[in-house]
Amino acid sequence: MHPNLSFDQAPPIGVPLRFLLTAPWFGVAAGLLLAWSGEVAVLSRWTPQALALTHLLVAGFLLQAMTGALFQFVPVAAGGNVWRPRLAAAIIHPMYIAATALLVAGFLAANGSLLRLAAGLFLPTVLLHVALVGSALLRTPARGATIAALRVAVAGLAVTVVLGASLAEGIAGSHAWPLVQVTNVHAAWGLGGWALMLVLGVSYFVVPMFQLTPQYPAAFARWAPIVLVGVLLAWSTQLLDAGADWLPLVWLAGLGVAAVFAGVTLWLQARRRRRIADPTFHFFRGAMICLLAAFASAAAMVLVPALGDEPAAAWWLGALVIAGTFVSLINGMMYKIVPFLCWLHLQRQAGIGGTVPNMREIAPERAQRLQLRLHFASVTLLLLATFYAEVLVAAGAAFAASCAWLGWNLIDAVRRYQGFRNRAGAGAAGREP
């Protein structure tokens, strides 16, 4: 029994916002880097530019956004705040920024010491982050598929960073570690064990919530994370035996789990009771279509190995999964989370019965709709760049512009929130005797 469970709605607003407002600017940096480096970023996944670009998106954009969202989401899903959220965020947020910047600089400068330094910042920060969020998720009396998936996701983040740190050590120290295999396993845990797992857990919650769809089928919700962990463990055996010829099938199975998730989500959305289609709905649907396309492409690459051997194959898949799926999902989620948080905190301040601007008055939908179009145009350009290197500069510029617009829309919402808060505060002060 937990009669004293706080059930609080939210940590202080600055806790999630500092992460959510930072994330898009890493996307801007990634777009600009792509426009500046051109073809080198696409030719192979191993060029310094490709590695820097990937980590600006995953360790910059994705990690910042997902960390901020979790600080907000865990209290709702688990019924209690993360321990001392303000202090935790004040440590984790700047540490992640610094670590990502060092990591990217280390790749671009091909400097092992910088990579080692980045790993030295990432490791303790992630362990702190995982311990805090993990303990909130373990202590909760709440049960269900969302909590289970979130628990696995934070463990997946820890595995990703431990493997990443060992890679940095392997490169900097010139150890004879199987770098290709460790990289494969590191990337799979990061994208599958952390990012996709988190998306599963959060989607079980928010897809029915935003569009009033039916719930995810219970068997799917329960088994998808378990199967995904099984796939990741099988994939991790390449650290011991790199030559197993069934590894491509394991890889395909991982994307298969993602594709089933995408298919189920689209099916649920088609049965939604709330017929209104807002920008977040379109971001979600676009993301799921990209995920299905990634699976279809991977299947083609397994069936026709020559396709998978093309140097640009990794670019095509990366653009579909990272920009097309994860960035789209986060972009859509941010348009719900940030205005809702602003409203929630204004409402609390105003007290019951007080009138505060609603979500659309805080974040007008028109700007979101236009940015949605630019985002998917930029994803299309990124995919075209697989075949036509001449569109790379345009793709990078469009992606940077779309992320900047997202960043601006979020800042604009927070400015409206602050403006109203200050006016209300001044009004309250003026009424005092």
Q: Min. distance of Cβ 137 from another protein in angstroms?
A: 13
CA distance 28 to 7: 37
Binding mask 273-292 for another protein (x = CB under 8 A): xxxx-x--------------
Of 107 and 204, the one with the shorter C-beta distance to another protein is 204
What is the CB neighbour count within 10 angstroms for residue 252?
17
- DSSP result, 150-216: HHHHHHHHHHHHHHHHHHHHHHHTT----HHHHHHHHHHIIIIIIIIHHHHHHHHHHHHHHH-PPPP
We find the least distance from the C-beta atom of residue 3 to another protein, in angstroms, to be: 4
Of 288, 286, 316, 291, give the one whose Cα is nearest residue 301.
316
Q: Interface residues for another protein in 146-185 (CB under 8 A)?
A: 146
Cβ-proximal residues to 63 (8 Å cutoff; 6+ apart), any chain: 96, 100
Residues 290-329 that bind another protein (CB under 8 A): none
Give the nearer residue to another protein in terms of CB position, either 284 or 295: 284
The CB density around residue 138, as the number of other CB atoms within 10 Å, is 11
- Interacting positions 224-263 with another protein (CB under 8 A): none
The window from 5-13, 58-66, 191-199, 393-401 that contacts another protein (CB under 8 A) reads 5-13
**Per residue in 297-313, is it b (16+ CB within 10 Å) or e — as a string?**
bbeebeeeeeebeeebb
Touching another protein, residues 118-147 (CB under 8 A) = 140-144, 146
- Binding-site size for another protein (CB under 8 A) equals 43
Site string for another protein, 363-382 (x = CB under 8 A): --------------------
Region from 127-135, 251-259, 353-361, 415-423 binding another protein, contact rule CB under 8 A:
353-361
Q: Token pair 């602003």 is at which residue?
A: 342
Q: Find the shortest distance in angstroms from Cβ 349 to another protein.
A: 12
Taking the complex as a whole, how short is the minimal distance between the CB of residue 311 and another protein, in angstroms?
Answer: 44
CB of 335 to another protein, least distance (A): 10
